[in-house]
Chains A and B, each alone.
Chain A
Amino acid sequence: MRKPPYPTVLKPYGTALLDLARADERIVCLSGDLTRQCEVDLFRDELPDRFVNVGMAEANMMGIAGALARAGHVPFVHTFGVFATRRPFDQIVNAIAYPNLPVRIVGFMPGISSPGGPSHQAIEDVALMRAVPNLTVVDAADATEIRQVVPAILDHPGPVYLRLKRGEIPVIFDDDYEFSLHRARRLRLGGDALLVANGMMLPAAIAAVDVLVAAGVDCGLVHAPVVKPFDAATVVDAASGVDAVVTAENHTVVGGLGSAVAEALAEAGAGCRLRRVGLRDTFAEGALSAHHLFQTYHLTTQSIVDAVWEASRRPDPVPVAPRSPAAAGEYSPV
């Protein structure tokens, strides 16, 4: 694993999909008028016969994708996460999830990474998709993982919702990283506290571990990119004996990663205190930059440290997370 600030790359998803599609004629690519933004201009330009721009018509796009999957194609459907889930929810349920078809719904710009205001922020997409039977939900963290997720979901028999950061994608993991649709990754063992994170909150969780360990807290870290089906066993095992479990997600704390961890711990009878870092049941307004929103709504490295401290009921002062400035082309945790 690298250290922040992380180098960034462009279009790891679009490149991975194109590489896969060159070798597999079943793959078709649908876009909802957000082709470049979803990195599939690469696909459109090279494989135009299998690219369909459905336009601003997400309900129709999901219905078309379901039928294409019934006919034997493997459709990858692209728009922003907010439009991929909120708008066509009933269509996803009826045209894709209930028939358990291999449609891959790829939603970009997760959580509060968009300065586009609440209309453009997919803050409950994981909760929505997680609630639907048959759906697999993946919140990927970095370019190395994204390159592996795309082939990993190709032949998955049912539908997948893949949540991806837009734009400059950090490279956090080294090439020996292995993504699994079934197992969460224990990135660090720790006996005092456990962090569980994914997606855009993974860098902050990694930075929080460093702060906590320096302050004398033996803190573990689990990376859980697959929110459903959730690898409860790994989380419960990692939580064994710790005082506090803290989840970190770029999403509302209702129904996403934090809820999945809460359910896993409660069902296992684990008695540790849990704190969920994420949007606290609120919409996020007032931003020019995503960075500002992460700070304003407490989705930062410091938020995670604070949550561990509070849940652990430590009497000493909370350690302060260092600022990690990123130069152009770099990515740092907030």
Chain B
Amino acid sequence: MDPILESPHDLDTLATRIRRHAVRMVAAHGLGYLGQALSAAEILATLYARVYRPRTDRIVISPGHYVIGAFAAAVETGLLDEAELATYGHDGSRLEAIGTERSPGLDLTGGSLGQGLSGAVGFALSDRMRGRTEARTVVLVSDGELEEGQVWEAAMFAAHHRLDNLVAVIDANNSQVDGPVTEVTTIEPIADKWRSFGWWAEDVDGHDTKALAAALAAAVAADRPAVVVARTSTTTGLDCLPASTDGHFIKLPAELAARAAAELESRLA
């Protein structure tokens, strides 16, 4: 059985635990990048538990705003001490709200959007040059980042050089600072764009862990760079959030934070 399709981790439980960590981290500040963790919880659970093999592979979190979810996933997979999450976003912490060079639990991140795929391409190219055929480079990209031209420079390069050890997941949560991506710039059809650039691509429900795992198993097996377009939303997994929530930067006052924590606790009970 492919270890991406089956492992001791229950991915849905893992995703809920990632959300619980994220709620705690954001609750300490009253607002923050909770929406990124909510949309990417299943993606990060699947990547960290099933796809990314520390010491062999590299994982790149291109949008540094998502490190909150990566920190949570790193705790769940033993890469980071849970106690350190309490320092997230506080003065003097290495767990800054937007990823930095000191961010633990990942190999590369960045706050200037659209750059992570190039870094991932560089890692994959290094593995190719060194004959490290087993090594994977896994990269999380957000849909808003696709507005940056550099992403497409990197996409062209990866396909031209047929970097088949490169696997990208796009968190297509339709959220950017000024509102829904669809209202800012038309980036669809996402998967077709990548296919036309020479990538293997598949569109899945990004909150369906079985679909994610199946797509990622196929992506890893593909004979070319591969991308999974994961359709998500920034409020999924927390029913208590009001309908008016701005998913890019969620306000989480104490009362709402308590309800969010209780909701997630009950789901884990």
Contacts and interface: CB of A to CB of B under 8 A. Distances in A.
B185 to A, nearest CB: 18
A87 to B, nearest CB: 10
A60 B154 CA distance: 6
B150 A67 contact: no
Given A52-B125, A91-B150, A98-B101, A67 B108 contact: yes
Interface stretch (B32-40, B112-120, B192-200): B112-120
A71 interface: yes
Given A57-B157, A59-B153, A64 B129 contact: no
A64 B112 contact: no
A71 B125 CA distance: 10
Most buried by B among A64, A66, A91: A64
Nearest to A65: B122
Given A63-B122, A68-B125, A57 B112 contact: no
B269 to A, nearest CB: 42
A78 to B, nearest CB: 16
Q: Is the interface of A mostly helix, strand, loop or mixed?
A: helix
B123 interface: yes
B110 interface: yes
A57 B108 contact: no
Interface residues of A, number: 27
Interface in A313-329: none
Contacts, number: 84
A68 B153 contact: no
Most buried by B among A54, A63, A91: A63
Nearest to A50: B129
B157 A55 contact: yes
A64 B101 contact: no
Interface of B: 101, 107-108, 110-112, 115-123, 125-127, 129, 149-150, 153-154, 156-157
23 contacts: A57-B156, A59-B115, A60-B121, A60-B150, A60-B153, A62-B118, A64-B125, A66-B119, A67-B121, A67-B125, A67-B126, A68-B122, A70-B122, A71-B122, A71-B126, A72-B126, A90-B115, A94-B110, A94-B112, A94-B115, A95-B110, A95-B118, A99-B101
